[in-house]
């Protein structure tokens, strides 16, 4: 069974953070957890979820990596944001969503940044994106008939770009 973990304020100056706002598909969240374990990235899960944390698909996708993930569960975006925006000097939020004004490769990521991704079916709320237009980035798409990329693939693309920009510090 996956341990239920409620969030506390953590020191976020050194590692990257992935934030999944209201994730809906267990295998995507499990894959992201496995990615976070492999990269020593902190995972933040914002409720409500479209699944139970004990879901077999979630566990299967994360395999035995859950025990190696620093992860936090938050009751809402408001609770999460208020806990981390208090220290605006180190907590930078990047919102990854289609139609962003610039490419994710144009962003200058730093240790401690939060990469925020929305629900698989609806993305991030438009009001949140408009309020944070200077940190709203997109992954380029090339086929108008393709709605989107898989969430866990998007997380991997952007996280590894951020880690590349930091020189892959801590690589084994």
Domain layout of the chain by residue ranges: 17-139+147-165
DSSP three-state, residue 34: helix
Q: From its phi and psi, is residue 99 left (phi > 0), alpha (psi between -120 and 50) or beta?
A: left
List, in sequence order, every residue forming a beta bridge with 93; answer none if it has no partner: 114
Q: Domain 17-139+147-165: give its CATH superfamily.
A: SPOUT methyltransferase, trefoil knot domain (3.40.1280.10)
Helix axis angle, 26-39 to 151-165, nearest 10°: 20
Provide the mean pLDDT of the chain: 87
- pLDDT of 56: 76
Six token digits for residue 65: 């990596």
DSSP three-state, residue 58: helix
- pLDDT of 10: 47
Q: How many residues does the chain have?
A: 172
- pLDDT of 2: 44
Six token digits for residue 154: 């998007």
- pLDDT of 89: 62
Q: What is the pLDDT of residues 85-143, one digit of tens each?
A: 766 566 799 999 999 999 999 999 999 999 999 999 999 999 999 999 999 999 999 99
State the pLDDT confidence band at 62, using cuts at 50, 70 and 90.
Answer: low
Cβ atoms 84, 91 nearer than 8 A: yes
- pLDDT of 122: 94
Q: Identify which has the larger pLDDT, 51 or 134.
A: 134
- pLDDT of 8: 46
């Amino acid at each position: 069974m996956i341990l239920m973990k409620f969030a506390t304020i953590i020191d976020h100056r050194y590692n990257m953070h992935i934030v999944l706002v209201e994730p809906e598909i267990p295998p995507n969240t499990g894959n992201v957890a496995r990615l976070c374990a492999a990269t020593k990235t902190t995972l933040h899960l914002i409720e409500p979820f479209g699944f139970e944390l004990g879901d077999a698909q979630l566990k299967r996708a994360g395999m035995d990596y859950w025990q190696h993930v620093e992860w936090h569960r938050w009751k809402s975006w408001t609770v999460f944001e208020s806990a981390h925006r208090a220290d605006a000097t180190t907590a930078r939020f990047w919102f990854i969503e289609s139609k962003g004004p610039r490419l994710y490769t144009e962003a200058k990521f730093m240790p401690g940044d939060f990469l925020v991704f929305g629900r698989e079916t609806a993305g991030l709320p438009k009001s949140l994106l408009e309020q944070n237009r200077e940190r709203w980035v997109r992954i380029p798409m090339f086929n108008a008939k393709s709605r989107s990329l898989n969430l866990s693939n998007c997380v991997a693309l952007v996280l590894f770009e951020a880690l590349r920009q930091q020189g892959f510090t801590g690589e084994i």
